A = this chain, B = another copy of it.
Amino acid sequence: MDIRTYEIHGFTEALIENGLIVPTGIAGAYGRGPVFEDILRRFDDLVTRTAAPDNAQELMFPPILARALIEKVGYMDNFPQLAGSVHSFRGSDQQARELSARVHAGERWEDLLAPTDVMLTPAACYPVYPTFSGLLPAGGRLVTVMNWVFRHEPSDEPTRLQHFRMREYIRVGRPDEVVAWRDAWLQRGLELLRGLQLPVDSDVASDPFFGRAGRMMAANQVDQRLKFEILCPVISREKPTAICSFNWHQDHFSGKFGILNADSSVAHTACLGFGLERVTLALIKTHGYDPADWPQTVRAQLWP
């Protein structure tokens, strides 16, 4: 057992023993106990208060998304390994009896299903871009969403979840507006997290593009400094965990959804997202399993 494995097991066991998480038998899909949820919600509220002066418009989408949208944004080209496609049964009485018989015989039955019009939302910001289509008001727009996000990467590492919550802010406007907003929030995010006494740093980063072609796309993304992350040691010091990320998409979404600035130039978009479970785990790892024992300055911000 190497040090990394040891740390994962020790941390997970302590989270379970302290009632912070509840095993479900599925890797990366544990239940969250009341104290875990309280920390998560308090942090989300702190982000909301921090962002309040910006007057973001708040929208809520279900954790499912149009299949056509996933196809349109190129997700199946870039991240097919992470996608979750939703399939359902639309057969007859007789086929239903066969399905049921196969379940009871321990045989596979999923070939009796057909794809639906929806997939699991892979990024909380995706449903927002189509709502920007057309001419933007001067100054662009700012939207915030919180949503469950699915990534098919089952793992026993407690920060690598199959389904988790992201609090995102999505900015659309002129390139200079969008980049200034991203830069300001990178600083604001670091200050917010350091204010909670988390040992965080930022770095350029890349998305987990699939396969050999994907490695080149990831290298390009780093070269162009399109993605930044805020990292915090949770499982290991050597490989800190990304708990917040910043993506500048340039005209990727605006081109696809016809999003134009007030002067009819093509808009740019950027987003930032806090991984709410990861921030929660970073706080627990840094300050301990019982929030009652956390430093008073940290408690004062989360439980004001």
A contacts, CB < 8 Å to B: 22, 24-27, 29, 31-34, 36-37, 57-66, 68-69, 71, 76-77, 80-91, 93, 96, 99-100, 103, 108-110, 113, 115-118, 120, 127, 130-131, 148, 150, 152, 154, 161-164, 210-213
Of all chain B residues, the one with the shortest Cβ separation from A78 is B100
List 13 A-B pairs, Cβ < 8 Å.
A25-B66, A26-B65, A26-B117, A33-B59, A34-B59, A36-B60, A37-B60, A62-B148, A63-B163, A82-B88, A85-B113, A87-B110, A117-B154
- Please state if B93 and A212 are interface contacts (CB–CB under 8 Å): yes
Chain B residues near A120: list those with CB within 8 A. Answer: 64, 86
Give the complex CA separation of A36 and B152 in angstroms: 31
- Please state if B118 and A162 are interface contacts (CB–CB under 8 Å): yes
> Closest CB of chain B to A159's CB: distance in Å?
14
- Please state if B116 and A96 are interface contacts (CB–CB under 8 Å): no
A25-B68 contact given A89-B80, A96-B211, CB 8 Å threshold: yes
- Please state if A161 and B34 are interface contacts (CB–CB under 8 Å): no
> Closest CB of chain B to A76's CB: distance in Å?
5
